[in-house]
A = this chain, B = another copy of it.
């Protein structure tokens, strides 16, 4: 790869320690061997709504990855971008059917479970339905358990391999691991879903995943973890 012999272009990631979408991008950057500077945006204090961040992403979401001449948002769009721009090592299989399967597994959390547990939704529940903290946590666990059940149903019958992607992790593994990180944030144990648990454990044993965990981020409060 041409990039390997050049000084890497500088990359900036706007993220937040607790954001599992930021987790996904951090893992992919590490698996691609890229370095980046991370700029924390405190989602829980509403920093995504300040004029400064509005100019970074007027949709007010994290993560945002910036580099020379580009500024991309939405974790799955960024993962696909990293895959196209830095193809080695490959994080998606080659044939269209296997790629569709990998993306389907990504979207189980990116499009089904994760959107339901974001701060804006939790705040909206509190504001509009007077939901208490325990009720909001229960809401999150309900939809995370639904997602976990779907992962298990889709993956349990497959021949065991270290990762969904095969011998090395790929985008589907990254998204699956992010789902289990969210389960951890809401104290949902993975015991009912042994295949999910096994795959997530294999991922989190790798430094690229472990170092991306919310509790390992510099902006995480000291009491985390």
Q: Interface on A for B, CB 8 Å cutoff?
A: 58-61, 69-70, 72-74, 76-78, 80-81, 84-85, 96-97, 99-101, 103-104, 106-108, 110-112, 114-116, 120-121, 124-125, 128-129, 131, 135, 138-139, 142, 146, 150, 153-154
**How close is A67's CB to chain B, nearest CB, in angstroms?**
10
Q: Judging by beta carbons under 8 Å apart, are B135 and A128 in contact?
A: yes
Q: Do most interface residues of chain A lie in helix, strand or loop, or is the interface mixed?
A: helix
User: For residue A84, which residue of chain B has the nearest CB?
Assistant: B96
List the 10 closest pairs (A to B, CB-CB), nearest first: A58-B153, A77-B103, A59-B150, A115-B115, A81-B100, A74-B107, A84-B96, A129-B129, A72-B100, A77-B104
Q: How many copies are assembled?
A: 2
Q: Judging by beta carbons under 8 Å apart, are B108 and A76 in contact?
A: no
Q: Judging by beta carbons under 8 Å apart, are A59 and B111 in contact?
A: no
Q: Judging by beta carbons under 8 Å apart, are B116 and A74 in contact?
A: no
Residues of B within 8 A of A74 (CB): 103-104, 107-108, 111
Q: Judging by beta carbons under 8 Å apart, are A139 and B128 in contact?
A: yes
User: For residue A156, which residue of chain B has the nearest CB?
Assistant: B58
